[in-house]
C-alpha cells in the first residue's frame, strides 16, 4: 500500500472536508437546493478580519450557496450591540474578553479560539519617519519620545487593539509619556487610515492590517511579552439574525440553526484556516487572550 506524503495527506483531508460541506449543503447537479427559501446568515466580526473573513465567506458561499452578510466593526461595539438585543448568528471577536461577555450574558451556544495575531508599529514611510531603534521596547520608547509628535492607536479603554497597545506601553513604562499625543480610532482600520493619511506619524495596528496598505511600513513588531498573546474567538450565538442597525430579539429569523452551526464549523476547517494564514493570522494555539475583564 502506497504511503501518502504530508502534502498529499493534507490535500486528501481537505477534499474530504469539502465533500462533507457540499453534502451538508445538499448540492444536486451543481445547484444548491437545501437553502431555497432560507434567509441569509449574519456575522458580526472584528474590523481587523475584513479581508480574510471576506475571502472565507466567498468560499463558503460558493460551496453552500448561502448568502452570508457581515457587520464589521470594533469588537467592543459589536458586543454591545449583541448585549442590547441585536441579532446575529456568529460573532468573531478580536478579544476573548468580549466573547466571554457574550457567553456570560447567556447568548453563546459555543465559543472557540479561531486565530491569533500580533501588534506592530507602522509608519507611512521609513524615509520620512525617524527609524525606531531595534527591539519592541525601544520602538515603544521612540513613539513616546519627542521624535514622534502624534501616535495613533485604537480606543485603549474598549477596542482590543487599543487595549493591547496600552498594555504594551504600560509594560514598557511609556504609557504616561505617550498618552498625551495619542490620536484614538474607534477601530483598528481607522487607526490604519490615520497613519496612511498623515494624521499621525506612526501607529499600532495588527500585523494583518499593516499588510493591507502598501504605503505603510512596519517599523517594529511588538513583543507578545508586552501585549500578552493575542487570540480571536468565534462565538456561535443562540439565535438568528436581524438587521445589524436594529436591535431585535435574538432567536427570530435568520439562516436557521443548522446553517449557523455549519458556518461556525467551517471557520475551523483546513481551507478556512489556510485563508486566515495567507492574510497573516497565526494559529489560535499560538495565542492567549487578555486576562481578566
Binding residues for molybdate: 48, 75, 161, 188, 206
Rg of the chain taking only CA atoms, in angstroms: 20
Angstrom distance (rounded) from CA 38 to CA 65: 11
User: Which residue in 124, 129, 280 sits closest to 214, CA to CA?
Assistant: 124
Angstrom distance (rounded) from CA 105 to CA 276: 29
Contact 59, 87 (CB under 8 A): no
- Specify the pairing of strand 230-237 against strand 108-117: antiparallel
Angstrom distance (rounded) from CA 83 to CA 36: 31
Cell numbers found for residue 24:
451538508
**Cα 144–chain centre separation:** 27
Alpha helices (H) along the chain: 6-24, 50-64, 75-83, 96-104, 136-144, 160-172, 175-178, 188-196, 207-210, 224-227, 257-266, 270-278
- Binding region: 48, 75, 161, 188, 206
Amino acid at each position: 500500500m502506497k504511503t501518502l506524503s504530508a502534502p498529499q495527506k493534507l490535500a486528501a483531508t481537505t477534499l474530504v472536508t469539502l465533500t462533507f460541506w457540499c453534502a451538508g449543503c445538499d448540492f444536486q447537479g451543481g445547484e444548491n437546493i437545501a437553502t431555497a427559501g432560507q434567509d441569509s446568515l449574519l456575522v458580526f466580526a472584528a474590523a481587523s478580519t475584513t479581508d480574510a473573513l471576506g475571502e472565507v465567506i466567498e468560499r463558503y458561499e460558493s460551496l453552500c450557496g448561502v448568502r452570508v452578510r457581515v457587520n464589521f466593526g470594533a469588537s467592543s461595539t459589536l458586543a454591545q450591540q449583541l448585549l442590547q438585543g441585536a441579532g446575529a448568528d456568529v460573532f468573531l471577536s478580536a478579544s476573548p474578553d468580549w466573547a466571554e461577555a457574550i457567553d456570560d450574558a447567556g447568548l453563546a451556544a459555543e465559543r472557540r479560539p479561531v486565530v491569533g495575531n500580533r501588534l506592530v508599529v507602522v509608519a507611512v514611510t521609513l524615509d520620512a519617519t525617524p527609524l525606531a531603534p531595534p527591539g519592541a521596547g525601544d520602538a515603544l520608547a521612540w513613539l513616546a519620545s519627542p521624535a514622534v509628535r502624534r501616535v495613533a492607536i485604537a480606543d485603549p479603554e474598549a477596542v482590543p487593539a487599543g487595549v493591547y497597545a496600552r498594555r504594551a506601553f504600560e509594560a514598557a513604562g511609556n504609557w504616561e509619556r505617550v498618552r498625551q499625543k495619542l490620536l484614538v480610532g474607534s477601530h483598528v482600520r481607522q487607526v490604519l487610515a490615520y497613519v496612511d493619511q498623515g494624521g499621525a506619524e506612526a501607529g499600532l495596528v495588527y500585523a494583518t492590517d499593516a499588510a493591507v496598505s502598501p504605503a505603510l511600513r512596519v517599523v517594529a513588531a511588538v513583543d507578545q511579552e508586552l501585549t500578552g498573546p493575542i487570540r480571536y474567538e468565534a462565538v456561535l450565538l443562540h439565535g438568528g439574525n436581524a438587521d445589524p442597525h436594529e436591535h431585535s430579539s435574538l432567536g427570530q429569523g435568520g439562516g436557521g440553526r443548522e446553517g449557523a452551526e455549519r458556518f461556525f464549523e467551517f471557520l475551523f476547517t483546513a481551507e478556512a484556516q489556510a485563508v486566515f494564514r495567507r492574510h497573516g493570522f497565526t494559529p489560535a494555539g499560538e495565542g492567549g487572550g487578555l486576562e481578566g475583564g
